[in-house]
Amino acid sequence: MRRFLFAGLLMLLALVSCKPKVSSGRDTILLVKSIAADTDGEEHSLLAGFGKVPASGDIYIIGGPRECRLISERFLDCDVRENARGREWEDGLKDFAGETFASICDASFTPYADFAGKYGRDTLRELSVRLALSALSPKCSVSIYDLDGNHAKTPAKIIILADPWLLECGKFDIDTLFSLTSCKVPVLSPQDLLLEAALGGPKKYFNTGIICDSCHISSGIYPTLFAAKARQYDVLGARCFTAASRSGGNVLAGFLDDYMLAGNSEPIDALLVDDWSLEIGELEKEIQSIRDFNREEYMRYGKLLSPEFKLISSSSITMAGCYGLLRELKLFTNRIAQPSACTYVVKPRPDADDAQFLLIPSENVQD
């Protein structure tokens, strides 16, 4: 089932990427307009240099420390493909062999919900753009005293925005800037891919559950993103119920308990899982137990899953999407080596305003 799901998600991503983009009517921020207009400027020149994406680049993950660690670990361990032809079976060789996953761990400005609340959403939008620019830059700072950035680093060939607030307040502006400067580096959002899977394909999932990290529940970010995607695709009557993931097993049962406690009884069409710490195989086993007429779980939960219930995880769909892009764009490094990881830390600039920072290799940062 895991292999079948991986293939289906990869096909879905291919279909989504071929669809015409729907105009949102949104206006981008001043920073994007300024960089795009200054054709002789350093940042415009940097972006324009990515008209062809280099296979030698790294895959960058941007977000809080926990998200970056979990996503990086999953990518490093991924083996669901036969590497030579990309067919669907484990071959004992990691799918992303030879690749480096570079995490931009932002402990300075996260949680982004609080940052947006304090400084405004436009400031978070600016920060998001600057984080993407830092991923593309061939330079970082050697320490908190290196304000000019004198340390060489490998630029990005794919960028993954790990936090849902970077989708809400950032991806549109990053995409706009990249488009205006002919920068071809792909930018992926796990949350955007999840919502596309639920609402952007030929099959629409009207009553959707979302499992996410508890830190995002109070901000209401997932219902906001869900509603925006439903409007984008004119899916009338779509609704979602969001709950925090639980540790220690019985994750699906815990979610359904929360669903019923909130007064819900209508069957769920799809469950979107945006917690990379969860094992999807365990959730699939829970689904089988709930659908087994011979088990007690069926009596309590069986009617809460629709006959066409579908489980979609951000980990599976994002790794499938990244793998597909590397093959399609011929961006694999083809190095014979285990996948590796490195980490950069975000530190506010002492000489600048809210959304500006230094990017420093983690080993150079003193506690």
Say how far apart CA 82 and CA 155 lie, in whole Å.
28
Which alpha helices (DSSP H) does 190-250 contain, by range? Answer: 190-199, 221-232
Of 96, 60, 101, give the one whose Cα is nearest residue 336. 96
Domains observed in the chain = 25-189+316-364 (3.40.50.1860), 193-314 (3.40.50)
Q: SS in 3 state form for 242-255?
A: EEECCCCCCHHHHH
pLDDT in the model for residue 7:
45
Stretch (H or E) spanning 346:
strand 340-348
pLDDT along the chain (367 residues), means of 10: 46 45 73 98 98 97 97 95 59 88 97 96 97 98 94 98 98 98 98 97 95 95 98 95 88 95 97 95 93 88 94 96 95 93 96 88 82
- In angstroms and rounded to an integer, the radius of gyration of the C-alpha atoms of the chain is 21
Looking at residue 353, its pLDDT comes to 74
Q: Check residue 364 and give its pLDDT.
A: 82
One-letter amino acid for residue 199 of the chain: L
pLDDT value of residue 143 = 94
Cβ atoms of residues 270 and 309 within 8 Å = yes
- 211-240 pLDDT, tens digit per residue, is 999 999 999 999 999 999 999 999 999 999
Positive/negative CA dihedral, 132, 135, 138, 141: positive
